[in-house]
């Protein structure tokens, strides 16, 4: 970025203004796949095209990595996690042929996380799995948590039922820099 070197008390030249304008345009958010930018005098908004979020968006939709769906059966509440790799590693509980599929048991409102544990000597992932947590999780000194979905359960109903699953739709990526 070619920012002008303007110091206190210096006159601001037209060249300085042009360079500042060019720098702002360079970092300005631009439209992309699945969203566009709406700029008004009141501010800037990111408008997301719901059809491209995955999770049932229909033909041509971008798939939602590790999409969670209701897989409850026989009064047992279960969430199925779509097959996928994280950093070219197959998470614990998933199989190369996706048979059987990964299903997690839930009993209350909860969060589904990918859980990446690091070898602190090499700073490489040592294990990757999924976990069901009743509270939001923070990264620890050796574990990175990536939110995959939130699950709402109606525990008053008889039998209890999953009423909503909100997928985050992002690909988890191991980052030792995010550790606590």
Residue 46 lies in a domain: no
Domain coverage including residue 108 = 64-178
Residue 34 resides in a domain: no
In a domain, 53, yes or no: no
Higher pLDDT residue, 55 or 172? Answer: 172
DSSP 12: P
Residue 26 lies in a domain: no
Inside any domain, residue 15: no
Q: Buried b vs exposed e over 80-97: b needs ≥16 C-beta within 10 Å?
A: bbbbbebeeeebeebeee
List pLDDT tens digits, range 107-138.
Answer: 999 999 999 999 999 999 999 999 999 999 99
- Read off the pLDDT of residues 80-102 as tens digits, 9 standing for 90 and up: 999 999 988 999 999 999 999 99
pTM for this predicted structure: 0.66
Residue 35 is assigned to a structural domain of this protein = no
DSSP labels for 24-91? HHHHS---BTTEEEEEETTEEEEEE-GGGS-SS--TTPPP-TT-EEE--BTTB-EEEEPP--BTTBPP
**Is residue 129 included in any domain, yes or no?**
yes
Residue 156: pLDDT band by 50, 70, 90 thresholds?
Answer: very high
Q: What is the pLDDT of residue 2?
A: 73
Mean pLDDT score across all residues of the chain? 85
pLDDT digits (tens, 9 = 90+) for 32-53: 666 677 777 666 776 766 554 4
Q: How many domains does the chain have?
A: 1
Which position has the higher pLDDT, 25 or 59? 25
Residue 75, domain member (yes or no)? yes
């Amino acid at each position: 970025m070619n920012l002008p070197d303007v110091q206190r008390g210096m006159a601001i030249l037209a060249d300085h203004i042009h360079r500042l304008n060019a720098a702002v345009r360079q970092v300005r958010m631009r439209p992309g796949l699945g969203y566009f930018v709406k700029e008004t005098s009141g501010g800037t908004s990111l408008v997301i095209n719901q059809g491209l979020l995955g999770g049932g968006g229909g033909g041509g939709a971008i798939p939602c990595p590790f999409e969670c769906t209701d897989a409850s059966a026989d009064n047992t509440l279960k969430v199925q996690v779509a097959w996928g790799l994280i950093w070219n590693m197959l998470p614990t509980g998933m199989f190369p042929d996706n048979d059987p599929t990964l299903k997690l048991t839930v009993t209350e409102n909860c969060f589904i996380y990918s859980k990446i544990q690091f070898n602190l000597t090499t700073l490489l992932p040592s294990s990757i799995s999924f976990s069901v947590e009743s509270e939001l999780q923070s990264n620890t000194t050796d574990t990175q948590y990536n939110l995959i979905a939130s699950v709402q359960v109606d525990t008053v109903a008889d039998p209890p039922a999953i009423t909503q699953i909100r997928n985050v739709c992002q690909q988890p990526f191991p980052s030792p820099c995010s550790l606590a």
